[in-house]
Amino acid sequence: MITGSLVALITPMKSNGDVDKQKLDELIEFHLEAGTHGIVAVGTTGESATLTYEEHADVIRQVVETVKGRVPVIAGTGANSTHEAIDLTQRAKQAGADACLLVTPYYNKPTQEGLYQHFKAIAEAVDIPQILYNVPGRTACDMSNGTVLRLTGIANIVGIKDATGDLSRAKELIEAAPSDFAVYSGDDPTAVGLMLLGGKGNISVTANVAPKQVAQAAEAAIAGDKNTAEKIDQSVSILHEKLFVESNPIPVKWACAELGLCDFGIRLPLTVLSNENHDIVREALTQAGIAK
């Protein structure tokens, strides 16, 4: 089972929007040195919505090749077309990813039965561990705990990224799901709370700029060390808030560039962080003790 701090890795881009392959390699090494437990490539934070099919597959392949098995690589392969999700998941398997992360179909607004059939079809088509991803705030699609529990009966559906921020709902799911089914947080402000309830990790945006702290907090929370986990988490809690002052990944990409980890490149329809928010994010980095 994959556990711990799993960074929702940005896809670094040059100022013209091209994927910056050199900076991608450097970011991966930065995270491995800081103790990040796994890399999530080309998820929402990785701008999956604006990468081409070939770029999507290339980034996954590069991450796998650079990581060289040192930590698990989870590939974002979700789509609002079941056929496309299957194709992306097949490509991720061919590239050597350890697991795939599949977001609920956005815009379509499928029924709960449609969600079940969608994920069932992908799982049956591609023999690779698959993690569901529920983020209704971005997709206008909310997968119920009942549907998730139905899907736990499919052998290679091994977990879910719960980005609802609803700890009571997460608690119900953790208690009802099989012991080998992992519930991960996808909401940094409530991630430690979810892990203290029995969650297995945090697929984190904040980890892009504070990988050491997020990894240490995850380790403590999973071990049940509430005081240590909450103390470490508090030190970066301002980032959990201010890295969402505009739509993700706008603030976190700007923060990474501000820290010298990459250029300021981002793709339309997303734009570089607004000038009026520069000081807000910069101050958050300073308060968290990670600004240069």
List, as residue ranges, the binding site for pyruvate.
45, 203
Q: Given the residues 23, 93, 116, 133, select the one marked as catalytic.
A: 133
Per the annotation, the verdict on 161 as an active-site residue is yes
Residue pair 75/11 in contact by the 8 Å Cβ criterion: no
Distance CA 20, CA 72 (A): 22
Q: Given the residues 23, 93, 116, 161, select the one marked as catalytic.
A: 161
Distance CA 106, CA 144 (A): 15
Residue pair 161/203 in contact by the 8 Å Cβ criterion: yes
Distance CA 236, CA 234 (A): 5
Distance CA 179, CA 176 (A): 9
Write out the two tokens for 90.
Answer: 């097949």
Per the annotation, the verdict on 107 as an active-site residue is no
Burial class, 280, CB count within 10 angstroms (exposed 0-12 / middle 13-18 / buried 19+): middle
Write out the two tokens for 26.
Answer: 């450097």
Q: Which residues are catalytic?
A: 133, 161
